[in-house]
Amino acid sequence: MRRCASVSPHVNDGCQSNTIPVKRQRQSGNEKPKESMAQDEASASLSVTMDKPVCFIDTDSDGKLCVQQSALQILQQIQQPVVVVAVVGLYRTGKSYLMNRLAGKQTGFALGSTIESKTKGIWMWCVPHPTEAGTTLVLLDTEGLGDVDKGDPKHDINIFCLAVLLSSTLVYNSRGTIDNKAIMELQYVTELTECIKVKSSDKDADDSTEFVKFFPSFIWAVRDFTLELKINGKDATEDEYLDFALKMKHDNFCKFVFNDSSVKRLKDGYTVTGRVLGHLAKTYVDTISSGSVPCLENAVIAMAMIENEAAVKVGLQVYQSGMEKLKDSFPLELKDVSSKHQDLSSTATQAFMKRSFRDTEGKYLKSLEEKINELFNGYLCKNEQASKRRCEDLLSSLSAPMMEKLKKGFYANPGGYDLFCKDLEDIGKRYNSQANKEVKAEEVLEEFLKQKSVDSKAILQADKKLSEKEKKIKKEMEKAALLHQEIKAKEEKQRQLEEKMEAERQSNEERMRQMKEKMDEEMRLQKEETEHAMDKKLREQADLMQKGFKEKADMMKQEIEELRRRSTEAENNRAKEFALILENSSRRHEETMALMMQNHREQMMAILDKNTKSSDDCCIM
C-alpha cells in the first residue's frame, strides 16, 4: 500500500466552491473536422448525468453485500473512461459532505444530523469530470467505519476493500490531527494485504510488492475543526460557520483531488469505463459475498471475458450492418464485394481491438475472424444467387422468341439447324452485351447452351438439307463451342478465386498490422505502469534514506529489485504470448491460403484438361 504521502499541506479539510472551471477543448468556428465532431457527439452520448446519487452496493436481508441493479444499469451506459474517487473513514466525520463538494453541490449524498451513522453501504454519483473533457467522475461515498453497533465485524473491512478496489483515488477522511490515534485507525489499510490478492496463483506468496502497481492514489483529508458557532461575534449555524471558515480550503481540496486523480485502470493498464466499473463491482461483491478473497488477477480475467465477448459482438455488428447495406445492390462484381469486405473487416477488427483486452491466446480475435469469414462466404453466396437470377431472367427473356419458334416447329424444316444456330448466336451476343450480370454470367450461359444443345441435336438430326458428313462436322463444331464456353466459365471462376486470395492476403496484412499496434499499446501500458510503480517506490526509498531510516530504506531497495524482477518477467511473458498469437494468426492465414491454392490447382488442372480436349477435338475436325 502506498504511504499516505499525498496529504497536502493545503488539504486539511475539503470542500469546494460551486464554480468548477471546466476545461473547454473545442475549437472555435468550423475548424473542427467533421469526423472528430461526430466522435464528440458519440462520446457525449456515452455518458449519463445523474442529478442525485444512487445506492450502489447494499446489504441484503441475509446481511450479504450486493450490487444494486439500478446502479449497474446507469454504469452500463457510461462508455467514457472513469475517474473514481471514493471516500472512506470513521463514521460521522463528514465524508458525505465532502463528496457533495466534489460533485460541486451542497446536497446530494445524504448528510446525517444526529450522531448515528447515516450512510449505509456504498453510494454512487456520476458527474461529468469538471476538468477532463470526455471523462466521467464517479464519486463513491461509503458507510462510516468503526460503528460499534454494527453486527458483522468483517463488514467494515469489506466496505474498505471495495472502496480500494473500485477507486482510482481513495480519500481517507478523518477528524482531528494526524497523531498516533489516527494512524491506529488506519488499521484497515494494514489488513488489506490479507483481504485482497493480486494473483490467483501462489496462494501463500506475499504479493504486497505488487500492490503498489494497482492501488489507488491515497489522499488523507484531515478535518481539523473546532466548532465555535460565531461569525464576527454573531451566532451562526454549524454549516454557516464551517462554510465561512473553510471557504478557501474547499477550492484547494477539490483542485488537489481532481489534479491527483487519474482514470481508473485495471491491472495491465486497461482503461476502466463506467460499464467496466459495473462489471468490476459485481465481480468483487460476488466474490466477497461468497466468502472468498477478491483477487485482482481473477477480476481482470473475468472482465476480459465479458469485454472480449462483447468486443466480438461489436465487431460483427460493424461488419454485418455494412454488408447488409451492400447486399441491397447485389449482384456486384466480386472485386466490389471483396473490397467492401476488406474495409469492413478492418473497421470491425478496429472496433474489436478498441474494446478487447487481454485476449491472451488471441482466441476472441480468431473467433471474430472466423465469424466474419463465415458471413463473407454467406454474402458471396447471396451475390452469386442474385447474379444467377439476373442472368437466368435475362436469358429467358432473350430466348423467348426462339422458344416460341421451337414450339411452333419453325426449325423443323430443311435449313432449320442453321437458323437455330444463328438465333442462338444472336442470343449469346445480346446476352454478352448486357451489363450488370456479374459473377455468374459465364456459368449461366454455359448452362443455357448445354440445355439448348438437346434441342439443337434434334434439329440437326432432322435437318434434311445437310448431308451426314456435314452433320458430323456441325456436331463437332457445336461441341467445341460448348467446350469453349465451359473453359471460359472455369477461367472466370479461377480469376475470381485469385481475387479472393488477394483479398485474403491484404486482409491478413491489415489484421497483423492492427494486432501489432494493439500489442505495442498494451506493452507500452504495462511498461508505463511498472515505471510508475518503480518511481513511487524509489521516491519512498529516497525519502526513507533522507529521514535516516536506513534499515527500512534497505528493505525498500530489496522490494524495488523484486518488483523490477517480476515486472521484467511479466513483460517477457507478455512478449512471448504476443509472439505466439501472431504466429497462430499467421498459421491460420497460411492454412486458408493453402486451401485456396489447392482449389486453384484443381481448377487449373480442369482447365488444362478441357483445353487438351478442345485441341484434340479440333484435330478430329
Which residues sit at the interface with ligand GTP, rule CB under 6 A?
13, 15, 91-97, 111-113, 117-119, 144, 238-239, 242-243, 246
- Min dist CB 94 to Mg ion, Å, is 8
Residues 6 or more apart whose Cβ sits within 8 Å of residue 566: 209, 210
Q: By C-beta, is 96 or 349 nearer to Mg ion? A: 96
Q: Are 88 and 81 in contact (CB under 8 A)?
A: no
**Binding partner selected for residue 510 from ligand GTP, Mg ion, none, CB under the kind-specific 5 to 8 Å limit:** none
**DSSP of 99-139, one letter per residue?**
HHHHTT-SSSSPPP-SSS----SEEEEEEE-SSSTT-EEEE
**Residues 323-342 close enough to bind Mg ion by CB under 5 A:** none
- Min dist CB 65 to Mg ion, Å, is 17
**Contact between 118 and Mg ion per CB under 5 A:** yes
Quick one: DSSP state of residue 466? S
Element spanning 141, H or E: strand 136-142
3-state secondary structure 62-76: CCCEEECHHHHHHHH
**Binding partner selected for residue 239 from Mg ion, ligand GTP, none, CB under the kind-specific 5 to 8 Å limit:** ligand GTP
- Min dist CB 15 to ligand GTP, Å, is 5
User: What is the chain's Cα-based Rg?
Assistant: 37
Q: Cell numbers at residue 365, please?
A: 480475435
The span of 82-90, 114-122, 301-309, 337-345 binding Mg ion (CB under 5 A) equals: 114-122
The binding track of 363-382 with respect to Mg ion, each residue x by CB under 5 A or -, is --------------------
In order of 402, 417, 439, 456, 474, the CA distances from 460 in angstroms are: 16, 5, 33, 6, 8
Q: Which residue is nearest to ligand GTP (CB)?
A: 144
Q: By C-beta, is 143 or 442 nearer to ligand GTP? A: 143
- Min dist CB 92 to ligand GTP, Å, is 5
User: How many angstroms separate the CA atoms of 195 and 197, rounded?
Assistant: 7
Q: By C-beta, is 173 or 526 nearer to ligand GTP? A: 173
- Min dist CB 1 to ligand GTP, Å, is 22
Q: By C-beta, is 121 or 331 nearer to Mg ion? A: 121
Q: By C-beta, is 94 or 274 nearer to ligand GTP? A: 94
Q: By C-beta, is 150 or 613 nearer to ligand GTP? A: 150
311 bridge partner residues: none
Q: By C-beta, is 8 or 77 nearer to ligand GTP? A: 8
**Binding partner selected for residue 91 from Mg ion, ligand GTP, none, CB under the kind-specific 5 to 8 Å limit:** ligand GTP
Site of grid cell 454519483 = 125
Q: Cell numbers at residue 246, please?
A: 473553510
- Min dist CB 119 to Mg ion, Å, is 3
- Min dist CB 109 to Mg ion, Å, is 6
Q: Are 164 and 192 in contact (CB under 8 A)?
A: yes
Q: By C-beta, is 94 or 362 nearer to ligand GTP? A: 94
Amino acid in the structure at residue 503: A
**Residues 444-483 close enough to bind Mg ion by CB under 5 A:** none
**Contacts by 590-593 with C-beta closer than 8 Å and gap 24+?**
592/373, 592/504, 593/501, 593/504, 593/505
Nearest 5°: phi and psi at 177? -105, 165
**Contact between 142 and Mg ion per CB under 5 A:** no
- Min dist CB 22 to ligand GTP, Å, is 24
SS3 273: strand
Q: By C-beta, is 222 or 581 nearer to Mg ion? A: 222
User: How big, in percent rounded to 5, are the helix, strand and coil portions of the chain?
Assistant: 65, 10, 25
Site of grid cell 482514470 = 263
Element spanning 166, H or E: helix 153-166
Q: Which of 59, 79, 119, 383 binds Mg ion (CB under 5 A)?
A: 119
User: How many angstroms separate the CA atoms of 492 and 487, rounded?
Assistant: 8
Nearest 5°: phi and psi at 174? -145, 155
Residues 6 or more apart whose Cβ sits within 8 Å of residue 80: 43, 46, 47, 134, 135, 136, 273, 274
Q: Cell numbers at residue 349, please?
A: 477488427
- Min dist CB 144 to ligand GTP, Å, is 2
Quick one: DSSP state of residue 569? H
**Binding partner selected for residue 197 from Mg ion, ligand GTP, none, CB under the kind-specific 5 to 8 Å limit:** none
The binding track of 80-109 with respect to Mg ion, each residue x by CB under 5 A or -, is ---------------xx-------------
Q: By C-beta, is 147 or 336 nearer to ligand GTP? A: 147
Nearest 5°: phi and psi at 220? -100, 115
**Binding partner selected for residue 131 from Mg ion, ligand GTP, none, CB under the kind-specific 5 to 8 Å limit:** none
- Min dist CB 245 to ligand GTP, Å, is 8
Q: By C-beta, is 96 or 287 nearer to Mg ion? A: 96
- Min dist CB 116 to ligand GTP, Å, is 7
**Binding partner selected for residue 113 from ligand GTP, Mg ion, none, CB under the kind-specific 5 to 8 Å limit:** ligand GTP
Element spanning 508, H or E: helix 468-546
Q: By C-beta, is 97 or 270 nearer to ligand GTP? A: 97
**Binding partner selected for residue 4 from ligand GTP, Mg ion, none, CB under the kind-specific 5 to 8 Å limit:** none
Q: By C-beta, is 153 or 548 nearer to ligand GTP? A: 153
- Min dist CB 118 to ligand GTP, Å, is 4
Q: Are 208 and 256 in contact (CB under 8 A)?
A: no
- Min dist CB 117 to Mg ion, Å, is 7
Q: Are 592 and 369 in contact (CB under 8 A)?
A: no
Of 372, 383, 375, which is closest to residue 588 (Cα–Cα)?
372
**Binding partner selected for residue 102 from Mg ion, ligand GTP, none, CB under the kind-specific 5 to 8 Å limit:** none
User: How many angstroms separate the CA atoms of 607 and 479, rounded?
Assistant: 16
**Binding partner selected for residue 260 from ligand GTP, Mg ion, none, CB under the kind-specific 5 to 8 Å limit:** none
- Give the residues lining the site for Mg ion (CB under 5 A): 95-96, 118-119
